[in-house]
Structure 1
Amino acid sequence: MPSRKKGVKTHSMFTEQHSSVLELLKTSGLKMSFHPVDTDKGTICAKETNVVGEFICNNKPCKSKGWASGVVATVIRLYPDNRYNARVYHQRCKKCNTLSRPKLDESYAERVAYRLKKWNDIDVEEPVYNKESKEPHKTQLCEGCKAGHCRQSNMNSRFYSKRTQRK
């Protein structure tokens, strides 16, 4: 669902990460394709998680040098015919409130692959994620919190909380 402001996206899908997800699925024999339509319609299940990313403020007058976050709100969705996608929410600069799209690290592919394996009943050890945060999560700057899809907020939507896993 796009932002109310014209032309300002509050989230993205990272199709360029699909090859990294496939690489992590190789050993399990699981074959998945990326579902290019950013919609909840037709999902079999969905899971909220966080990934790690770096943000750069694109507002030229802003003095922010950017920031890293271990709490980049993400919703992984499974569709029929072994298709998936993941919506990754943007964050706002704490100095000027401009929206920024994250540059993701390997945690995106790891978490997506892990969830796809779980949904397909493949035995997988739960990964340990322990990215230390230098500051507390700022819900007012997190578009995932505003949309009710950040695990750090208390505003989880009924859709995702009821349909978190296939099992």
Structure 2
Amino acid sequence: MPARKHKSTRRWSMYPFLHSEVAALLEDSDLYFRFHSKDDDFALHAYDTNVMGRFSCPNDECGSTGWSSKKIAITIRMYSGDRYNARVYHQRCQECNRLSQPILDDSYAERVAYRLKKWSGIKMEVPVYGGESNGPHIRSLCEGCKAGHCSEGRWY
């Protein structure tokens, strides 16, 4: 019998391997944070925002070719001792409803670094995030909406 792919039920992930990109953006402001791998509620600050990326359905039997999203919900948290983390919420495939973990673009490091700088008292201009939407945000497929951490799904 062939091995089956593990069916993920995780509704969010953290990306410690992207810390070097965040750290590089913080260094120009003389800020040095460590990634806090423990997901707990003892944060000094928490902020919900969105990043961009791409999803591919993990279901081999699904006909989906994947999708990009400009509204991937994340919660950025800062902890004592110059530590932070960011919870990135998954989305479900529109074709088969399977959970999919995103592949993030540069917006993750930019948004995390911006928020850490702001919390650290660095004065900055508010960044302009934009670009054309690539379709409607389907709240029932967004785990951030369901958890109350997506700007699109505050009333979901």
Q: Indicate the TM-score class for this superposition, using the shorter chain for normalisation.
A: over 0.9
Give the share of equivalent positions with the same residue, in percent: 54
Residue 153 of structure 1 and its aligned partner are, at CA, apart by: 1.1
Q: Hey, what does 2:4 align to over in structure 1?
A: none
Q: Hey, what does 1:3 align to over in structure 2?
A: none
Looking at structure 1, the residues matched to 131 and 39 of structure 2 have their Cα atoms a distance apart, in angstroms, of: 28
Residue 125 of structure 1 and its aligned partner are, at CA, apart by: 1.7
Please show how residues 18-167 of structure 1 align to structure 2 within 5 Å: 18-40=19-41, 42-155=42-155
Q: Which residue identity does 1:39 align to in structure 2?
A: D
Write the deviation string for residues 138-162 of structure 1: whole angstroms up to 9, x where unpaired. 0000000001110111249xxxxxx
| Of 102-111 and 30-39, the range deviating more from structure 2 | 30-39
| Of 63-72 and 120-129, the range deviating more from structure 2 | 120-129
* Native 8 Å contact 1:149 1:155 kept in 2: no
Q: CA RMSD in A?
A: 1.3
Looking at structure 1, the residues matched to 124 and 19 of structure 2 have their Cα atoms a distance apart, in angstroms, of: 20
* Native 8 Å contact 2:70 2:134 kept in 1: no
TM-score norm. by structure 1 comes to 0.87
Q: Which runs of 5+ in 2 are unaligned?
A: 1-6
TM-score norm. by structure 2 comes to 0.93
* Native 8 Å contact 2:49 2:151 kept in 1: yes
Residue 7 of structure 1 and its aligned partner are, at CA, apart by: 5.1
